[in-house]
Amino acid sequence: MEFANTKTILGGSDCLYDRQSELKAFDDTKAGVKGLIDAGVKNLPRIFVHQQLNVDESVTPDDSHLSIPIIDLQGIDMESSLRAKAVEKIRYASEKWGFFQLVNHGIPVNVLDEMIDGIRKFNEQEIEIKKKYYSRDPTKKVTFVSNFDLYRLKAVTWKDTLSCAMFPNPPEKEELPEVCRDIVIDYSKQVMNLGLTLFELLSEALGLNSSHLKDMGCADGLLLWGHYSPPCPEPKQTMASSSHCDSNFITILLGDQMGGLQVLHQNQWVDLPPMHGGLIVNIGDFLQLISNDKFKSVNHRVLAKNEGPRISVACFMRSRKDQSLRLYGPIKELLSKENPPIYKEVSFDDYLAYYMSKGLDGTSSLPHFKFSRT
C-alpha cells in the first residue's frame, strides 16, 4: 500500500489530497491499523493526523475532587443501607460526571483478564483469518473493522474493532471467531446480568420503581466492541478514539492497564486511571434524553500511545434492534410544571441516523432533538 506518493491536489493555500483514495486503500487492506504496523509503517499516514489536538492539556487526578466516583456494589442485595449508599453515589456520579467506576461488581477478575486476552488473540492471529470478518455490513452480527465511520471522519482513529451483537439474538457460536468465542459468550452474559442490576440502581437513583428502565427496554440489547490499538509511531498527532458521547443508554467498559481514557469534566480532560478488576460505566445520550437531562452523557476520548497494544471492551446496552422504531421521550414520571420535557420523542433508529450523519465531531447530537421554546 502506498501512502506517501498519493496524488496531491493543491487548492488555494490549502494542501488537499486524494483523501478518499487513501481511505479506500487503507480499508481495502482489511488489515486495520495493526496491518500498518505489521507492514513496518514508521510514520503516521496522513489520514490519521488530527488537527488541533490538545492532548497535553489534560489533568491526572491527584485529589478526590477530580477523580471519577467509585461505586462499591458489595452487599447491595443484602443490606438496604449499602444499597441506598450505592444508589446515592450513582445518582451523584450520573448527574455530575456521566461516568463512574465499579468495584465488587460480581464479574471475576479472571473473566475480565480473559476477555482482554481474547481480543488480543483475535487481533494477533493470522491476518487471513481476521480478514474474513472485515466488513461494514450493519446487518452482520459479527464484524471486524477499523473505524466503523471511516469515510465520514475528519481524521481516522488509531484502532481496530471486533464487533459482536450479543443480545437479544446472539450469533451462532460458529459465527464468533474461534480464538475468543467462549469468553465473548461468557463475558457478555455476565455483563448483561450486571447491566440489569445497574438499571435497577439507576431507576432508583431517578426516584422510579426499580424495574422502570428495564421495563422500558433499556437492557434488551447488548453490543460488544473489542478495541485494539497497537503502538502508534506518532501518538501526539492522532487519537485512539476521538472525543464523542455514546448514543445508547449505558456503556459498561473494561480497560487493560494501559490507560489513555479521558473524560471531559468541568471543561478539563481528566484521566481515568486503569483499575485492575474494576469496570467503568458511562451514561449514553438516550439515558440523558429519557431522564430529561438529569443524567448526563459526557464526552470522552482515548489517547494513542507509542507503547501497547492498548485493549478495551465496550458493551453498549441499548434497545432491541427489531424494536428500534419504538419512540423514546422523557419519562413522564419525571416531568412536572417546573420540569417540562426538554426533548421530543425519537426512535433509536432516527437518533442513530442523525448521530452517524454528523460523524464523531465531538459535539452532542441531543440538541437536535430538543423542543424549540421561544
Ligand X SMILES: O=C(O)CCC(=O)C(=O)O
Rounded least distance, CB 247 to ligand X, Å: 9
202: partner contacted, choices Fe ion, ligand X, none (Cβ within 5-8 A by kind): none
Answer for the pair 134, 144: CB distance below 8 angstroms, yes or no. Answer: yes
Binding mask 209-248 for ligand X (x = CB under 6 A): ----------------x-x-------------x----x--
CA 24 to chain CA centroid, nearest Å: 24
Residue 132, CA distances (Å) to 25, 98, 146, 162, 290 in order: 17, 37, 14, 12, 39
d(CA 249, CA 289): 9
355: partner contacted, choices Fe ion, ligand X, none (Cβ within 5-8 A by kind): none
Closer residue to ligand X, CB minimum distance, 212 or 227: 227
d(CA 248, CA 267): 23
Q: Minimal CB distance to ligand X: which residue?
A: 312
Closer residue to ligand X, CB minimum distance, 9 or 59: 59
Rounded least distance, CB 311 to ligand X, Å: 8
Rounded least distance, CB 43 to ligand X, Å: 24
302: partner contacted, choices Fe ion, ligand X, none (Cβ within 5-8 A by kind): ligand X
Closer residue to ligand X, CB minimum distance, 274 or 329: 274
Does residue 146 bind ligand X (CB under 6 A)?
no
Which contiguous run of DSSP H or E holds residue 307? none
Quick one: which of 32, 195, 230, 255 contacts ligand X (CB under 6 A)?
255
Q: Minimal CB distance to Fe ion: which residue?
A: 246
Three cell numbers, residue 46: 496522513
Closer residue to ligand X, CB minimum distance, 87 or 298: 298
d(CA 223, CA 252): 10
Closer residue to ligand X, CB minimum distance, 241 or 319: 241
Positions touching Fe ion (CB under 5 A) are 246
Rounded least distance, CB 241 to ligand X, Å: 5
Is the backbone peptide bond immediately before 274 cis, with ω within 30 degrees of 0?
no
Sign, CA dihedral 246-252-254-258, equals positive
Rounded least distance, CB 139 to Fe ion, Å: 23
Closer residue to ligand X, CB minimum distance, 210 or 243: 243
Rounded least distance, CB 314 to ligand X, Å: 4
Does residue 312 bind ligand X (CB under 6 A)?
yes
Residue 289, CA distances (Å) to 31, 252, 276, 329 in order: 37, 19, 32, 7
> 315 pairs with which residues across the strands?
224, 252
Does residue 300 bind ligand X (CB under 6 A)?
yes
Sign, CA dihedral 102-104-107-113, equals positive
Return the amino acid letter for 10. L
Does residue 305 bind ligand X (CB under 6 A)?
no
Interacting residues with ligand X between 94 and 133 (CB under 6 A) = none
Q: What strand order describes the sheet that includes 58-59?
A: 58-59, 268-271, 261-265, 300-303, 239-244
Segment contacting ligand X by CB under 6 A, of 15-23, 173-181, 205-213, 253-261: 253-261
Is the backbone peptide bond immediately before 309 cis, with ω within 30 degrees of 0?
yes
- Site residues (CB under 6 A) for ligand X? 225, 227, 241, 246, 253, 255, 261, 300, 302, 312, 314
